[in-house]
Amino acid sequence: MKKTISTSTKISVVMGLTALVSLSAFAHNHGQHGNKEQGHGQQERAQAHGSHAHLYPANMVVHLRPTRGNEGKFGMVTFERTDDGVKVMAHLEGMPANSTHGFHVHEFGDCSAPDATSAGSHFNPNETQHGARDAEHRHVGDLGNIETNRSGMAHVEFVDQGLTMRGPHSILGRAVVVHEQADDLTSQPVGNAGARVLCGVIGVAKN
């Protein structure tokens, strides 16, 4: 009998400690907004504050892998939220020298097909026309072109006003595709950029 009581006491102590640890983790994560974030309306408040990394990660990353027949090509893209828009940094290697390649966010985070057609078409949640990155009408996923140097490398950085990193139109979980040819920025619906040479899924970055 005594042993039973002792065991159950131990269990409740352990449970109490677990609860304390959980509570302090919650308080740490939520900081001063902890009390406001319960119940409905959580998403709207998070959008207003913009600092809730646990709901909307600040940074996203994509590792671009070659489609079949394009072995040796690779790349990486990062997306970072700033006050002026989404800062995009793209780095490509192993590409043809001095060439221009269409660069888009596509609708599905699925690069499994050998030609990456599994990524679907351009990410276009507003059902607008295809266009240049700074055009009045463009798909959310229209990021123009990337030009490589004489070594077949490219490094571009720009801040984009059309990308969205939170809410129903977030690019998280979708795909970045680099095409074999240039996006002419006018042909509908996808700029006539030809085959897909690189594809990667947009994920949450470590920081």
Contact status: 111 vs Cu ion (CB under 5 A): no
Closest to Cu ion by CB, 92 vs 177, is: 177
Catalytic residue among 104, 133, 138, 166: 104
**Does 101 participate in catalysis according to the annotation?**
no
Closest to Cu ion by CB, 46 vs 105, is: 105
Closest to Cu ion by CB, 154 vs 177, is: 177
**Does 106 participate in catalysis according to the annotation?**
yes
Contact status: 133 vs Cu ion (CB under 5 A): no
| Sole window of 15-23, 97-105, 109-117, 156-164 interacting with Cu ion (rule: CB under 5 A) | 97-105
**Does 84 participate in catalysis according to the annotation?**
no
Catalytic residue among 52, 133, 174, 179: 179
Alpha-carbon span 178 to 174, nearest angstrom: 14
Residue of 156, 64, 48, 169 whose CA lies nearest to 111: 64
Catalytic residue among 81, 101, 122, 138: 122
Residue count, binding to Cu ion (CB under 5 A): 2
CB of 102 to Cu ion, least distance (A): 5
Contact status: 104 vs Cu ion (CB under 5 A): yes
Catalytic residue among 130, 133, 138, 166: 130
Contact status: 171 vs Cu ion (CB under 5 A): no
Give the residue numbers annotated as catalytic, written as ranges: 104, 106, 122, 130, 139, 142, 179, 196
